[in-house]
Amino acid sequence: MQVTPVAGLPEIREGDDLAALIDERAVLQPGDVLCVASTVVSKAEGRTFDFADFPAGERARAIADRLEAITGESKDPRFAQAVIEESEELIVEAPFILAVTHFGHITVNAGIDRSNVPGGDLLLLPEDPSASAERLHEALDVPVVVTDTSGRPFRYGQRGVAVGWAGIPASRDWRGETDREGREMEATVQSVVDELAGAANLVTGEGDGGTPAAVVRGFEFGDHEGSNNLFRSEADDIVRAALREWEFEG
Ligand code: GDP
Ligand code: MN
Ligand code: MN
Protein backbone atom coordinates (compact mmCIF):
# COMPACT_ATOMS: atom_id res chain seq x y z
CA MET A 1 0.00 0.00 0.00
CA GLN A 2 1.30 3.46 -0.86
CA VAL A 3 0.21 6.76 0.63
CA THR A 4 1.13 9.80 -1.42
CA PRO A 5 0.41 13.42 -0.54
CA VAL A 6 -1.20 15.56 -3.23
CA ALA A 7 1.37 18.29 -3.87
CA GLY A 8 0.84 21.85 -4.96
CA LEU A 9 -2.63 22.64 -3.63
CA PRO A 10 -3.16 26.38 -3.07
CA GLU A 11 -4.55 28.03 0.03
CA ILE A 12 -8.19 26.97 -0.08
CA ARG A 13 -10.86 29.65 0.01
CA GLU A 14 -14.61 29.68 0.35
CA GLY A 15 -16.30 28.50 -2.83
CA ASP A 16 -13.25 26.73 -4.23
CA ASP A 17 -13.98 23.55 -6.18
CA LEU A 18 -11.86 21.25 -4.04
CA ALA A 19 -12.56 18.19 -6.18
CA ALA A 20 -11.33 19.98 -9.32
CA LEU A 21 -8.25 21.34 -7.54
CA ILE A 22 -7.35 17.82 -6.38
CA ASP A 23 -8.19 16.25 -9.74
CA GLU A 24 -5.76 18.62 -11.49
CA ARG A 25 -2.91 17.47 -9.24
CA ALA A 26 -3.51 13.81 -8.48
CA VAL A 27 -3.72 10.92 -10.91
CA LEU A 28 -6.53 8.93 -9.36
CA GLN A 29 -6.94 5.29 -10.37
CA PRO A 30 -9.69 2.78 -9.66
CA GLY A 31 -9.04 1.27 -6.23
CA ASP A 32 -7.48 4.44 -4.83
CA VAL A 33 -8.87 6.06 -1.70
CA LEU A 34 -8.63 9.82 -1.35
CA CYS A 35 -8.15 11.19 2.17
CA VAL A 36 -8.74 14.92 2.67
CA ALA A 37 -8.11 16.97 5.81
CA SER A 38 -11.34 18.45 7.14
CA THR A 39 -9.51 21.78 7.37
CA VAL A 40 -9.62 22.34 3.61
CA VAL A 41 -13.12 20.93 3.22
CA SER A 42 -14.22 23.46 5.84
CA LYS A 43 -12.40 26.32 4.16
CA ALA A 44 -14.02 25.50 0.81
CA GLU A 45 -17.42 25.27 2.47
CA GLY A 46 -17.07 28.67 4.12
CA ARG A 47 -16.77 27.41 7.69
CA THR A 48 -14.34 30.16 8.69
CA PHE A 49 -15.76 32.50 11.33
CA ASP A 50 -14.78 35.36 13.59
CA PHE A 51 -15.22 35.56 17.33
CA ALA A 52 -17.70 38.36 16.63
CA ASP A 53 -20.00 35.76 15.03
CA PHE A 54 -20.48 34.08 18.42
CA PRO A 55 -21.63 36.55 21.05
CA ALA A 56 -21.24 34.69 24.32
CA GLY A 57 -24.24 33.67 26.35
CA GLU A 58 -24.32 32.94 30.04
CA ARG A 59 -23.26 29.32 29.76
CA ALA A 60 -20.29 30.15 27.53
CA ARG A 61 -19.15 32.85 29.94
CA ALA A 62 -19.38 30.45 32.88
CA ILE A 63 -17.36 27.80 31.02
CA ALA A 64 -14.69 30.29 29.96
CA ASP A 65 -14.40 31.69 33.50
CA ARG A 66 -13.96 28.21 34.90
CA LEU A 67 -11.36 27.20 32.28
CA GLU A 68 -9.51 30.46 32.92
CA ALA A 69 -9.42 29.72 36.65
CA ILE A 70 -8.18 26.17 36.06
CA THR A 71 -5.56 26.88 33.41
CA GLY A 72 -4.45 30.39 34.37
CA GLU A 73 -4.74 31.33 30.69
CA SER A 74 -7.21 33.83 29.35
CA LYS A 75 -10.14 32.18 27.57
CA ASP A 76 -12.44 33.91 25.12
CA PRO A 77 -16.05 33.08 26.04
CA ARG A 78 -16.96 33.44 22.36
CA PHE A 79 -14.87 30.35 21.65
CA ALA A 80 -16.94 28.42 24.20
CA GLN A 81 -20.06 29.84 22.52
CA ALA A 82 -18.92 28.50 19.15
CA VAL A 83 -18.32 25.07 20.68
CA ILE A 84 -21.79 25.11 22.27
CA GLU A 85 -23.42 26.01 18.96
CA GLU A 86 -21.52 23.28 17.10
CA SER A 87 -22.56 20.62 19.61
CA GLU A 88 -25.46 18.40 20.52
CA GLU A 89 -24.08 18.04 24.01
CA LEU A 90 -21.08 19.01 26.10
CA ILE A 91 -20.07 15.83 27.92
CA VAL A 92 -17.29 17.54 29.88
CA GLU A 93 -16.94 21.29 30.46
CA ALA A 94 -13.70 21.28 32.46
CA PRO A 95 -10.71 20.98 32.45
CA PHE A 96 -11.43 21.01 28.69
CA ILE A 97 -14.59 20.91 26.62
CA LEU A 98 -15.47 17.48 25.27
CA ALA A 99 -18.33 17.81 22.82
CA VAL A 100 -20.64 15.69 20.70
CA THR A 101 -20.89 17.37 17.30
CA HIS A 102 -24.22 17.53 15.51
CA PHE A 103 -23.04 14.75 13.21
CA GLY A 104 -22.08 12.44 16.08
CA HIS A 105 -18.29 12.75 16.38
CA ILE A 106 -17.02 13.27 19.93
CA THR A 107 -13.94 15.43 20.26
CA VAL A 108 -12.36 18.27 22.22
CA ASN A 109 -13.80 21.72 21.39
CA ALA A 110 -16.12 20.16 18.77
CA GLY A 111 -13.09 20.05 16.48
CA ILE A 112 -12.94 23.84 16.12
CA ASP A 113 -9.44 24.83 14.99
CA ARG A 114 -7.49 27.99 15.57
CA SER A 115 -4.45 27.00 13.52
CA ASN A 116 -4.16 27.20 9.73
CA VAL A 117 -7.07 29.70 9.63
CA PRO A 118 -6.18 32.73 7.53
CA GLY A 119 -8.93 35.32 7.24
CA GLY A 120 -10.71 34.39 10.43
CA ASP A 121 -10.41 33.42 14.07
CA LEU A 122 -12.06 30.03 13.96
CA LEU A 123 -12.44 27.14 11.56
CA LEU A 124 -15.41 24.90 12.28
CA LEU A 125 -15.62 21.29 11.09
CA PRO A 126 -17.78 20.72 8.01
CA GLU A 127 -21.46 20.66 8.96
CA ASP A 128 -21.86 17.12 7.67
CA PRO A 129 -18.47 15.65 6.73
CA SER A 130 -19.96 12.50 5.22
CA ALA A 131 -22.09 14.64 2.91
CA SER A 132 -18.91 16.55 1.98
CA ALA A 133 -17.16 13.23 1.35
CA GLU A 134 -20.10 12.12 -0.80
CA ARG A 135 -19.80 15.21 -3.01
CA LEU A 136 -16.06 14.63 -3.49
CA HIS A 137 -16.73 10.95 -4.13
CA GLU A 138 -19.28 11.75 -6.83
CA ALA A 139 -16.90 14.18 -8.52
CA LEU A 140 -13.78 12.03 -8.33
CA ASP A 141 -15.20 8.52 -8.52
CA VAL A 142 -13.00 7.07 -5.74
CA PRO A 143 -13.84 6.46 -2.07
CA VAL A 144 -13.21 9.55 0.06
CA VAL A 145 -12.36 9.90 3.74
CA VAL A 146 -12.53 13.31 5.42
CA THR A 147 -10.06 13.37 8.30
CA ASP A 148 -9.31 15.41 11.38
CA THR A 149 -6.55 15.31 13.93
CA SER A 150 -8.01 14.28 17.25
CA GLY A 151 -6.87 13.28 20.71
CA ARG A 152 -7.81 9.93 22.25
CA PRO A 153 -8.55 8.93 25.79
CA PHE A 154 -5.92 6.80 27.54
CA ARG A 155 -3.10 7.94 25.28
CA TYR A 156 -0.94 11.00 24.77
CA GLY A 157 -0.69 12.41 21.30
CA GLN A 158 -3.18 13.13 18.57
CA ARG A 159 -3.81 11.17 15.42
CA GLY A 160 -5.82 11.26 12.24
CA VAL A 161 -9.38 10.00 12.49
CA ALA A 162 -12.21 9.83 9.99
CA VAL A 163 -14.98 12.36 10.51
CA GLY A 164 -16.75 11.61 7.23
CA TRP A 165 -16.54 9.04 4.47
CA ALA A 166 -18.23 7.96 1.25
CA GLY A 167 -17.80 5.16 -1.24
CA ILE A 168 -16.36 2.83 1.38
CA PRO A 169 -17.90 1.31 4.51
CA ALA A 170 -16.58 2.68 7.80
CA SER A 171 -15.53 -0.70 9.04
CA ARG A 172 -15.03 -4.28 8.01
CA ASP A 173 -16.22 -7.16 10.02
CA TRP A 174 -13.93 -10.06 10.87
CA ARG A 175 -16.49 -11.76 13.08
CA GLY A 176 -17.14 -15.32 12.08
CA GLU A 177 -13.73 -15.63 10.44
CA THR A 178 -11.04 -17.68 12.05
CA ASP A 179 -7.65 -16.81 13.49
CA ARG A 180 -4.53 -18.90 12.84
CA GLU A 181 -5.58 -21.45 15.40
CA GLY A 182 -8.97 -21.93 13.87
CA ARG A 183 -10.71 -20.01 16.65
CA GLU A 184 -13.69 -18.00 15.51
CA MET A 185 -13.38 -14.25 16.09
CA GLU A 186 -16.29 -12.84 18.02
CA ALA A 187 -15.66 -9.15 18.38
CA THR A 188 -13.28 -7.77 15.79
CA VAL A 189 -14.77 -5.02 13.69
CA GLN A 190 -11.96 -3.04 12.14
CA SER A 191 -12.44 0.68 11.77
CA VAL A 192 -11.07 0.92 8.26
CA VAL A 193 -11.75 4.61 7.68
CA ASP A 194 -9.90 5.57 10.87
CA GLU A 195 -6.93 3.46 9.85
CA LEU A 196 -6.89 5.07 6.40
CA ALA A 197 -7.18 8.49 8.06
CA GLY A 198 -4.26 7.67 10.35
CA ALA A 199 -2.09 6.60 7.44
CA ALA A 200 -2.98 9.72 5.46
CA ASN A 201 -2.38 11.99 8.44
CA LEU A 202 1.19 10.71 8.63
CA VAL A 203 1.95 12.22 5.25
CA THR A 204 -0.31 15.30 5.37
CA GLY A 205 1.32 16.47 8.60
CA GLU A 206 0.05 19.05 11.06
CA GLY A 207 1.88 22.26 10.34
CA ASP A 208 2.66 24.39 7.33
CA GLY A 209 3.34 21.48 4.97
CA GLY A 210 0.51 22.50 2.67
CA THR A 211 -0.48 18.91 1.91
CA PRO A 212 -4.09 18.49 3.03
CA ALA A 213 -4.87 15.50 0.79
CA ALA A 214 -3.34 12.08 0.27
CA VAL A 215 -4.01 9.22 -2.09
CA VAL A 216 -3.94 5.71 -0.68
CA ARG A 217 -3.14 3.19 -3.41
CA GLY A 218 -3.23 -0.58 -3.02
CA PHE A 219 -5.58 -0.87 -0.08
CA GLU A 220 -8.00 -3.76 -0.46
CA PHE A 221 -11.15 -3.90 1.59
CA GLY A 222 -11.38 -7.60 0.83
CA ASP A 223 -14.28 -9.96 1.06
CA HIS A 224 -15.83 -8.78 4.30
CA GLU A 225 -19.11 -7.49 5.54
CA GLY A 226 -18.96 -3.72 5.91
CA SER A 227 -20.78 -1.38 8.24
CA ASN A 228 -21.17 2.36 8.54
CA ASN A 229 -21.23 2.36 12.31
CA LEU A 230 -18.37 4.49 13.56
CA PHE A 231 -19.82 6.87 16.13
CA ARG A 232 -21.15 4.89 19.07
CA SER A 233 -24.81 5.30 19.81
CA GLU A 234 -25.60 6.75 23.23
CA ALA A 235 -27.11 3.50 24.43
CA ASP A 236 -23.94 1.66 23.55
CA ASP A 237 -21.46 4.07 25.11
CA ILE A 238 -20.70 3.47 28.78
CA VAL A 239 -17.70 5.82 28.78
CA ARG A 240 -19.88 8.70 27.64
CA ALA A 241 -22.45 7.84 30.28
CA ALA A 242 -19.79 7.72 32.99
CA LEU A 243 -18.20 11.01 31.93
CA ARG A 244 -21.54 12.77 32.08
CA GLU A 245 -21.71 11.99 35.77
CA TRP A 246 -18.08 12.94 36.41
CA GLU A 247 -17.12 16.34 37.85
CA PHE A 248 -13.64 17.82 37.57
CA GLU A 249 -12.47 19.06 40.94
CA GLY A 250 -9.76 21.64 40.86
P1 GDP B 1 -6.79 19.10 10.24
O2 GDP B 1 -6.04 17.89 10.73
O3 GDP B 1 -7.89 18.77 9.27
O4 GDP B 1 -7.26 19.98 11.35
O5 GDP B 1 -5.77 19.99 9.35
P6 GDP B 1 -4.31 20.58 9.72
O7 GDP B 1 -4.44 22.00 10.19
O8 GDP B 1 -3.58 19.63 10.59
O9 GDP B 1 -3.65 20.61 8.26
C10 GDP B 1 -3.35 19.39 7.57
C11 GDP B 1 -2.43 19.70 6.40
O12 GDP B 1 -3.11 20.55 5.48
C13 GDP B 1 -1.13 20.42 6.76
O14 GDP B 1 -0.11 19.94 5.89
C15 GDP B 1 -1.44 21.88 6.43
O16 GDP B 1 -0.28 22.62 6.12
C17 GDP B 1 -2.31 21.71 5.21
N18 GDP B 1 -3.25 22.80 4.91
C19 GDP B 1 -4.15 23.39 5.74
N20 GDP B 1 -4.87 24.30 5.07
C21 GDP B 1 -4.41 24.31 3.79
C22 GDP B 1 -4.76 25.02 2.60
O23 GDP B 1 -5.67 25.85 2.56
N24 GDP B 1 -4.05 24.72 1.46
C25 GDP B 1 -3.03 23.81 1.45
N26 GDP B 1 -2.39 23.57 0.31
N27 GDP B 1 -2.70 23.11 2.55
C28 GDP B 1 -3.38 23.35 3.70
MN1 MN C 1 -8.65 19.94 12.89
MN1 MN D 1 -4.19 17.83 11.44
Give me the domains of the chain, ranges plus CATH numbers: 1-46+125-233 (3.30.1330.100), 48-124 (3.90.1660.10)
Contact 216, 28 (CB under 8 A): no
Alpha carbons 136 and 145: distance in angstroms, whole number: 9
Counting residues of the chain whose pLDDT is more than 90, the rounded percentage is: 86
**pLDDT for 115 beyond 80:** no
- Tell if the pTM clears 0.85, that is, is over it: yes
Counting from 1 in the atom list of ligand 1, the atom nearest the Cα of 160 is: 2
pLDDT digits (tens, 9 = 90+) for 17-46: 999 999 999 999 999 999 999 999 999 999
Q: How confident is the model at residue 207 (pLDDT cuts 50, 70, 90)?
A: confident
Q: Looking at per-residue confidence, does 207 or 243 come out higher?
A: 243
Contact 201, 149 (CB under 8 A): yes
Using a 6 Å CB cutoff, which residues line ligand 1?
A: 9-12, 37-40, 43, 113, 115-116, 148-149, 204-212
Element (H, E) at 196: helix 192-204
Q: How confident is the model at residue 203 (pLDDT cuts 50, 70, 90)?
A: very high
